[in-house]
């Protein structure tokens, strides 16, 4: 007798990216020459995890009681304030309306958004290229994913396609939850310019008059953007009170502590009653899933965000890692342009996607050459975050000639 419920019996056994990573790692251990561009963590040029030393030290020095005690269900108030200040401190009009709840990484924030801003059976809307776990998170919560074609023929965000998709969703399900991962979009590497944000908001506002529409900005990679990551926030202000505005904040990449599982969902809500109801709903969701977050992790990240000396040290160290990645991005761009690879504007971030009509076949052939990338629909995702500078020429060559 099979005891598992029928709808869960055919779950895939492993995340495909982790399986590829495992295979690449096993071959490397056997002595094969392998370039592994599958995984979403920043490695230094020797292949070791790039960890901010100050973050590691603060985590290490966090007291036993801070690890052992339960955190409040919504997270320590000091943590919630620190995250909101980090994210919205430069835009007081958003900060004045914001609330937050602690989550296990950005993933937890996405999960809470899905269950609180969509009814069961409804679909979140996102770009046609998107981080695959959006689907898993939606599926697990009995929601779905709908997409709009991400790019115009000249490589800009396709706002006409977005407009149409939003209208369709309003017609079909009477509400919209739009996920935009920016800057440093995973998997394409695209970062929107400020004028694109302005145009996107202008497209959303008329729809927001017709039905509840919530924009969630997934800022998991903000710390690695080429320019100041929060410059576009003023463009989001017109949404206040008209559309829902959420941010999925994550300490994973920001502090190079992926396993600490610290994140937050931040919501900007001017109306007091709605703000309180949302705050309650988010805490309720926490209680009903993971109960409360990693107490020591929240404490450590709070220290890193609020202690002036620690913050300055972590910021300086992060700048070194950001530059390490930016240097790889420059080399990739130079070589990839010379080989006429087709990919979106890429000026920073962990990933880029190279367009191809035969992603699965090409990725398999590249694997035979010892180069691991992730096949996705219409492209190959390349995690430059994990590729040493000296391997980039061979990587680009494999992408161009396999």
Ligand X SMILES: Cc1ncc(COP(=O)(O)O)c(C=O)c1O
The structure tokens listed for 259 are: 């396993």
CA distance 38 to 350: 11
Kindly state whether residue 107 participates in binding ligand X, applying the rule CB under 6 A: yes
**Stretch of 52-60, 99-107, 137-145, 155-163 lying at the interface with ligand X (CB under 6 A):** 99-107
Complex with ligand X: residue 186 or 286, whichever CB lies closer = 186
- Residues numbered 262-301 forming contacts with ligand X, rule: CB under 6 A: 263
Complex with ligand X: residue 98 or 254, whichever CB lies closer = 254
> CA distances (Å), 221 to each of 14, 30, 182, 256, 321, in order?
24, 33, 7, 11, 13
Q: Please answer whether residues 74 and 326 qualify as being in contact, where contact means their C-beta atoms are separated by less than 8 angstroms.
A: no
Q: Please answer whether residues 73 and 291 qualify as being in contact, where contact means their C-beta atoms are separated by less than 8 angstroms.
A: yes
**Stretch of 64-72, 100-108, 203-211, 311-319 lying at the interface with ligand X (CB under 6 A):** 100-108
Count of residues near ligand X by CB under 6 A: 13
State the nearest-atom distance from the C-beta of 262 to ligand X, in Å: 8
Which residue in the set 79, 131, 190, 332 belongs to the binding site for ligand X (CB under 6 A)? 131
Residue whose entry in the numeric block shows the structure tokens 């904040």: 249
Which residue in the set 88, 123, 220, 246 belongs to the binding site for ligand X (CB under 6 A)? 220
Kindly state whether residue 40 participates in binding ligand X, applying the rule CB under 6 A: yes
State the nearest-atom distance from the C-beta of 60 to ligand X, in Å: 20
CA distance 307 to 388: 33
Kindly state whether residue 348 participates in binding ligand X, applying the rule CB under 6 A: no
State the nearest-atom distance from the C-beta of 75 to ligand X, in Å: 14
* Non-local CB neighbours of 388 within 8 Å, separated by 6+ positions: 43, 44, 45, 46, 47
Q: How far apart are the first and last CA of the chain?
A: 47
Q: Please answer whether residues 266 and 83 qualify as being in contact, where contact means their C-beta atoms are separated by less than 8 angstroms.
A: yes
- Residues numbered 229-258 forming contacts with ligand X, rule: CB under 6 A: 250, 252, 258
CA distance 183 to 207: 24
CA distance 81 to 155: 38
Complex with ligand X: residue 107 or 294, whichever CB lies closer = 107
Kindly state whether residue 38 participates in binding ligand X, applying the rule CB under 6 A: no
Q: What is the number of alpha carbons within 13 Å of residue 334 lying toward its C-beta?
A: 9
Site string for ligand X, 182-201 (x = CB under 6 A): ----x---------------
Kindly state whether residue 105 participates in binding ligand X, applying the rule CB under 6 A: yes
State the nearest-atom distance from the C-beta of 113 to ligand X, in Å: 11
The structure tokens listed for 92 are: 């007081």
| Helix/strand/coil for 245 | strand
**Stretch of 14-22, 71-79, 103-111, 188-196 lying at the interface with ligand X (CB under 6 A):** 103-111
**Stretch of 101-109, 142-150, 288-296, 387-395 lying at the interface with ligand X (CB under 6 A):** 101-109
CA distance 48 to 304: 23
Interface ranges with ligand X (CB under 6 A):
40, 105-107, 131, 181, 186, 218, 220, 250, 252, 258, 263
């Amino acid at each position: 007798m099979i005891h598992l419920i029928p709808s869960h019996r055919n779950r895939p056994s492993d995340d495909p990216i982790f399986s590829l990573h495992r295979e690449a790692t096993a071959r490397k251990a056997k002595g094969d020459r392998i370039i592994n561009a599958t995984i979403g963590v920043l490695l230094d040029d020797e292949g070791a995890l790039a960890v901010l030393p100050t973050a590691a030290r603060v985590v290490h020095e966090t007291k036993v009681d801070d690890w052992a005690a339960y955190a409040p269900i919504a997270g320590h108030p000091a943590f919630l304030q620190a995250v909101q200040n980090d994210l919205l401190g430069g835009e007081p009009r958003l900060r004045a309306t914001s609330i937050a709840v602690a989550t296990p990484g950005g993933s937890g924030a996405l999960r809470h958004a899905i269950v609180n801003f969509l009814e069961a059976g409804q679909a979140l809307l996102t770009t046609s290229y998107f981080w695959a776990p959006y689907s898993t998170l939606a599926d697990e919560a009995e929601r779905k994913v709908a997409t709009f074609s991400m790019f115009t023929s000249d490589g800009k965000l396709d706002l006409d396609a977005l407009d149409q998709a939003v209208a369709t969703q309003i017609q079909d399900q009477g509400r919209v939850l739009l996920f935009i991962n920016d800057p440093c979009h995973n998997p394409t590497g695209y970062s929107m310019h400020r004028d694109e944000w302005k145009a996107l908001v202008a497209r959303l506002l008329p729809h927001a008059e017709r039905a509840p529409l919530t924009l969630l900005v997934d800022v998991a990679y903000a710390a690695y953007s080429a320019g100041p990551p929060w410059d576009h926030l003023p463009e989001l202000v017109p949404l206040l009170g008209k559309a829902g505005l959420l941010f999925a904040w994550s300490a994973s990449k920001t502090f190079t502590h992926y396993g600490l599982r610290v994140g937050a969902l931040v919501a900007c809500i001017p109306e007091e009653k709605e703000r309180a109801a949302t705050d309650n709903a988010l805490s309720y969701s926490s209680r009903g899933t993971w109960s409360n977050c990693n107490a020591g992790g929240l404490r450590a990240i709070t220290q890193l965000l609020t202690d002036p000396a620690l913050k300055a040290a972590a910021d300086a160290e992060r700048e070194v890692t950001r530059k390490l990645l930016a240097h790889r991005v420059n080399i990739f761009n130079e070589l990839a342009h010379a080989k006429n690879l087709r990919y979106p504007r890429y000026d920073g971030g962990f990933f880029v996607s190279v367009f191809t009509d035969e992603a699965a076949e090409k990725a398999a052939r590249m694997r035979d050459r010892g180069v691991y990338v992730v096949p996705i629909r219409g492209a190959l995702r390349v995690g430059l975050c994990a590729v040493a500078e000296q391997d980039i020429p061979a990587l680009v060559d494999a992408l161009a000639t396999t």
